[in-house]
A = this chain, B = another copy of it.
Amino acid sequence: MPSKVRLYVDQPLAQGQTVPLAREQANYLFNVMRLTPGTVLSLFNSRDGEWDAAVAHAGKHAGSLTVTARTRPLQPPPDLWLVFAPLKKTRTDFTVEKAVELGVSRILPVQTDFTNAERVRGDKMTAHAVEAAEQCGATFVPEVAEVQRLSTLLDRWPEGRSLWFCDESRVSETAAPQPTAPAPAAILIGPEGGFSETERTRLGRLSFAQPIRLGPRILRAETAAVAALSLWQITHGDWR
0 or 1 for each of A70-98: is its CB under 8 Å from B? (1 = yes): 00000101000000000000000010011
How many of A's residues come within 8 Å of B, CB to CB? 40
Q: How many copies does the complex hold?
A: 2
- The answer to whether B169 touches A218 (Cβ under 8 A) is no
Q: Give the dominant DSSP class at A's interface.
A: loop
Judge whether B177 and A220 touch: CB under 8 Å: no
Give Cα A217–Cα B1 distance, bound, in whole angstroms: 11
Q: Nearest chain-B residue to A228 (Cβ)?
A: B230
- Chain B residues with CB below 8 A from A94, complex form: 94
List chain B residues, Cβ under 8 A from A106. Answer: none
Q: Which residues of B contact A137 (CB under 8 A)?
A: 171, 217-218
Residue from B98, B135, B193 within 8 A of A1 (CB atoms)? B193
Residues of B with C-beta under 8 A to A138: 217
Whether the pair A101, B216 counts as a contact (CB closer than 8 A) is no
Does A231 interact with chain B (Cβ within 8 Å)?
yes
Contacts of A217 in B (CB 8 A): 77, 100-103, 136-138
Which residues of chain A in 195-240 are interfacial with respect to chain B, using CB atoms and an 8 Å cutoff?
213-220, 223, 226-227, 230-231, 233-234, 237-240
